[in-house]
Structure 1
Amino acid sequence: MINKESSDHLSRRAWIGRVTVPALTVAGAAMISARVPGAESKSSTFSVVDYGAKGDGKTLDTLAIQAAIDACSLAKGGTVLIPTGDFLSGTLQLKSDVTLHLSAGGRLLGSPRRADYTAGKGVPSGNGNIVFLYAVNVARLSIEGKGTIDGNGLAFYNGKGDNTGPGQNGVDGNFDRPHLFIFHQCTELRLHDVFLQASAYHGIRLLQCKQVYIDGVRIYSRVNKNNDGFHFFSCQYVHIANCDVQCQDDACALFGSNQFVTITNCSFSTRWSIFRFGGGESQNIAISNCLIYDTYGCPIKISAGRASIENFSFSNIIMKNVTGPIGIGFSGKSNNGNLNTNQPATKPYIRNVSFNGIRASVIAQPVPHPDIHFDLNYKEGEKNSCITLNGMDDHYLENISFTDVHVKYAGGGTAAQADKRDVPKVAAEYFGVWDTTPGGPPAYGLYARNVKGLTLQNVRFEFEGDDARPAIVFDNVQDAAINGLSVQGSMNAESLLRVMNSKDLLFTAIRVLTPCQALLSLEGASNDGIAIDGGDLRKAKKQVIYRDGAQQKTLKLRV
């Protein structure tokens, strides 16, 4: 039975715990110390030590902490205080009108024992399995403070991930380990300042939540596989700012129908990807002023089968030491390759995606993170990577724009890569397209297939050393305007640009930065309405090469 203090006089330890709330004045402390735990006041503070929690890092404090949360909720709201100490716990259920406050010296530590965790009550099957902290159908829930929530995730490492990647379907996956947080159908959810670390699985999973505000949160989670940072599914009105995320898997995954999302002023690093999107009706998302470093598997990745994705904006983003760096794949089909009859009958699409103010340095291949203790399974297609826009069959990416984008690549592309014209139709992961292509993509800067309405304005592609590939390959691109393109050439590459079976393309003010064999290789009998108007082309030894039935009448060249 929990020993709950019932007198008006607090123990010295409890009193010290209560006054560790930041910005608490002496007068305020006196007012709080006079309250009885459970008093009917929204300003009440419920210290977990008053409900029997020991905070010694050894005693399991689950029941005591849950009792404080329950009392706070019963009192129509208040603050549950985690004071200085290490509070060991299993699964905890958070409730409406509760503020969970972690003092600067307070740590909520996940139990290393599987038996101390349960699934979240009311969390849909397949999304929750087991969990450390969760909330379902709650409102006005806050988690704040300078303290730490530690998932103790290394205790659950067994060498396996969940095997939910492309083609794996979760077979023989490791699901029996706790997520750090799961929030399902919550509104007015706030997370401020806390430090989250060492999750056994995903960090923060938000399912069908609305009005979510995350500010100043730091995540450091690299002890287990599938250590996602934020993982959203069909949420609305989500705002993330001033966060620092170092994780092992997707830093900020947005699946399903996420809408009205902003992410700004954050820094990210991970093995796999930063902003990952897929499925549903994901619309109206703005990401700005972010720093991305030491990230592989593509920092910005939109991998969609049958989805309705539109109105995405990525602006003022710096990438340092990445592979990718941007990949959009669209098949118009379900993950198993067949049309998904459970989806709406309307034709799926990806459209209205803009990239503005991007500066990136792309390395030749992923580099192991020294603080990740297991093998990271690098893919062949991650080597010599480029920006990939990959539509399939009769499905197109529409209205994609790049403005003020400067990327420097590692170079090293080979003639074997450059000669690859018949690119596999794989849209699930950008590197999946290039796993079957010798060493990577046939372009060092941008590969675009099945794109309608493509704009490049003040785009600059360079590389270190040498590269035998063209800077840009357009395959079945329609309605494109390229203005102020500056590209580095190579005498070992057949051409600087390659256009295949495309129509209605206008190139203006091209700058050839270094000597190259030819400006353009025009390939295929289906090209039509290609125009090159002006620019500095002096360093191109030859202007145009015609191949595979391409005709001179389809090109208008004025220099």
Structure 2
Amino acid sequence: MKYHLLLACLISISAVGYAQPEVHERTLADYVHTAPFPFTLWEKPDIPNRIFNIVQFGAKPDGQTLNNKFIQQAIDTCAAAGGGVVVIPPGLWLTGPIELRSHIELHLDRGAMLLFTPDHSQYPIIQPPRSSSFVVASPISGYDLEDVAITGEGIIDGSGDSWRPVKKEKLTAAQWKALLQKGGVLVDNGKIWWPSAEARDGEQYLKKLKQSGKKLTAADFLPARDYMRPYMVWLVRCKNVWIEGVTLKNSPKFALYPNYCEQVMIKDVKVNNEWWAQNGDGIDISGGKNIIIYRCTVNAGDDGICMKSSPSRYADSSAALQQVLIADCIVYHGHGGFVIGSNTDGGIRNVYVTNCNFIDTDTGIRIKSRRGSGGWVRDIYIDRIYMHNIANEAVLFDTYYEQSSASDTAAQPVTPETPHFTDFHLSDIQVSGAASAIVIRGLSEMPVERIFFTDMHMQTDRGMQLDYAKDIAFRNVEIKPATMPLVKLWNANEIDLTGLTFSSQTSAQLIISGPASKRIRIPARLPEGAVVLDHLESKQVLIRE
């Protein structure tokens, strides 16, 4: 009797198990709860339930009427009433730049396309609040706001192709021919197209203007307006920002660019820039605190999802950017899937990136900076990243961004602007197809240090190279390069390779060189012929475990 009762219980438990399978998909609350640092989820901005339809203010959805004065009137009227929802209904709404206000939700209905005019004369040169610089007005901007949102399933098109240069090498012959037929001008060698001569010559004009020594006004910058491309959605020092559902496409520069904002939710946003879009970053965060980027999809002409940080008197901590959660995102094209840098001199810490796909990007995880714009980047956690068809490195730490690492390796004095990458934790990273698995290029005066790789499998053309790296550890990491060596170390210190899978072949798999290389831990089973020491003695370098 007891046997039958026990059997019945086991069958019942089994049936329940099959009826209610384990839930693998996590919610945002799950990610917040499991973040490796304290993180709190906040409420959506408290927007009053008042509706202001832009049609009521004279806007017309014909793609011909310039509607920015009507849209701005709707926003300002809504703000004066204490806030509410400004609705952009289905239609093609041509507009110039607009500025958001506090307690406003700009809502784009499905079917609505907010098309920013390619007429650059509609974009004034402005001096943003509390800034000494002059910029071109962004299509959508907001300064020092509280409780602001952009929502809906509509499309925001920045007419970026009227602003951006294009490199010939990035287009097919047919695309290049079609571009030339649109007009514009070329640089002297014919390899870069600009939409106007003012755009092409703007950089040199600004250099001369800066050297003039005179007190500058907005009018002085007008000849360079075409060159001074605006960010498409630019929010500065705002608190409680909620951006959800919208599609951002064809941006003049970065598509979405919050600066020193707090409590920023970017959810279910889609960014669609052509892969040749110069400086066409997807989602860039520059300074700030408590940032969530969740379930977003990005096609970018530059970095996909990027963290930046520069010193600011408005930042209230040692790290100008901190407490960031990025989850369930996809980057299809871009210079990098998840990126830090290049400017990191304000400090970055406590960033958690999880359950993301990077497909056809130039680099998968891209950490970049250089002397003069670097800073302390630490406590970065990256897990459950799945990559396919990465053109260059799956994982890259580069302290020579846009510089030659071969010609400038001599140690220099350490300053607050020296890049310092430390305490990165990367785990459960799977790669199918990349030119290189892992590349670390540190500085002689400041190696990249304390990087921990765990539970990774990478199918790549080449293996791993570590230059000026210190205290790097691998646990259950398998790299399958098409060509040897598996690992090249140059001036590397305290490198633990005991958790890295080596094949059984005796041809050179591990090459160690550089006078600073020491204390390299390798598996005891690794054949002698698989290790090459370039003018180094084994007893000074290798530790077999």
TM over 0.5: yes
What is the Cα deviation at residue 155 of structure 1? 2.9
Say what the alpha-carbon RMSD is for the aligned residues.
3.3
Deviates further, 212-221 or 475-484: 475-484
Do the aligned partners of 1:62 and 1:89 also contact (CA within 8 Å) in 2? yes
Gaps (5+ residues) in structure 1?
A: 1-40, 163-168, 364-383, 412-443, 502-523
Using the TM superposition, give the Cα deviation of residue 389 of structure 1 relative to its aligned residue in structure 2, in angstroms: 1.0
Conserved? CA contact 1:461–1:488, under 8 Å: no
1:187-245 CA distance string (max 9 Å, x none): 11110111111112210111111111111111111173211111221122111101001
Determine the structure 1 residue equivalent to 2:338.
275
Equivalent pair of 2:125/2:137 in contact (CA under 8 Å): yes
- Give, in whole Å, the separation in 2 of the partners of 1:399 and 1:250: 25
Shift of residue 175, structure 1, vs aligned partner = 3.0
Does the C-alpha gap of structure 1 residues 171 and 255 become closer, same or farther in structure 2, counting only changes over 3 Å?
A: farther
1:127-146 aligned within 5 A:
128-146=135-153
Residue identity in the other structure for 1:214: I
Counting only pairs closer than 5 Å after superposition, residues 61-72 of structure 1 correspond to structure 2 as 61-72=67-78
- Corresponding residue for 1:330? 399
SS of the equivalent of 2:251 reads coil
Aligned with residue 88 of structure 2, among 63, 82, 88: 82
Return the alpha-carbon distance in structure 2 between the equivalents of residues 546 and 339 of structure 1. Answer: 24
Distance 2:68 2:530 in 1: 73
Partner of 2:509: 496
Q: Are residues 259 and 341 of structure 1, via their aligned partners in 2, closer, same or farther at CA, if it must alter by over 3 Å?
A: farther
Inter-partner Cα distance in structure 2 for 1:495 and 1:46: 70
Query: Which amino acid in structure 1 is aligned with residue 361 of structure 2?
Result: T
Deviation per residue, 1:365-386 (Å, 9 max, x gap): xxxxxxxxxxxxxxxxxxx434
Matches of 2:412 and 2:87, distance apart in 1: 48
Match of 1:397 in 2: 448
8 Å contact kept, 1:202–1:230: yes
Q: What secondary structure does 2:136 align onto?
A: coil
Stretch deviating more after TM superposition (327-336 or 191-200) = 327-336
* Alignment check: 8 A CA contact 2:367 2:397 kept: yes
| 3-state SS, counterpart of residue 403 of structure 1 | strand
SS at match of 2:162: helix
Residue 300 of structure 1 pairs with residue 366 of structure 2: yes
Over 3 Å counting, the alpha-carbon distance change for 1:344 and 1:299 in structure 2 is closer
Deviations 1:31-88 (A, max 9, x none): xxxxxxxxxx931100000000011111111110000000011011100000111111
Letter in 1 for 2:337: I
Task: Determine which of 155, 160, 172 is the counterpart of 2:162.
Answer: 155
Matched to 1:72, the amino acid is C
Distance in 2 between the 1:340 and 1:133 partners? 42
86-95 or 298-307: which moved more?
298-307
Residue 57 of structure 1 aligns to a residue in which SS? coil
Pick the aligned partner of 2:327 from 254, 264, 267.
264
Superposition deviation, residue 294 in structure 1: 0.5
Matched positions, count = 427
Could you tell me which residue of structure 1 aligns to residue 421 of structure 2? Answer: 350
Q: Deviations over 1:257-292 (max 9, x none)?
A: 321111110000224122222322111111111000
State the secondary structure of the residue aligned to 1:208: strand
Unaligned runs of 5+ in 2: 1-46, 167-191, 195-201, 206-223, 310-319
- SS of structure 2 residue aligned to 1:50: helix
Secondary structure at the counterpart of residue 479 of structure 1 = strand
Structure 1 residues 287 and 119: alpha-carbon distance in aligned structure 2, compared to 1, 3 A threshold: farther
Match of 1:216 in 2: 268
Q: Would you say 1:48 and 2:114 are equivalent positions? A: no
Q: Which residue of 1 aligns with 2:379?
A: 311
| 233, 240, 253: which one aligns with 2:306 | 253
- Kindly state the Cα deviation for residue 310 of structure 1 after the two structures are TM-superposed: 0.6
Identity of aligned residues (%): 24
Residue 457 in 1 paired to residue 475 in 2? Answer: yes
Instruction: Give the equivalent residue in structure 2 for 1:445.
Output: 463
**In the aligned structure 2, how far is the partner of 1:199 from the partner of 1:500?**
46
Give, in whole Å, the separation in 2 of the partners of 1:532 and 1:317.
26
In 1: Cα distance, 2:165 partner to 2:449 partner: 43
8 Å contact from structure 1 (residues 129, 175) kept in 2: no
Going from structure 1 to structure 2, the CA distance change for 1:119 and 1:221 (only over 3 Å counts) comes to: farther
Matched, 1:227 2:290: no
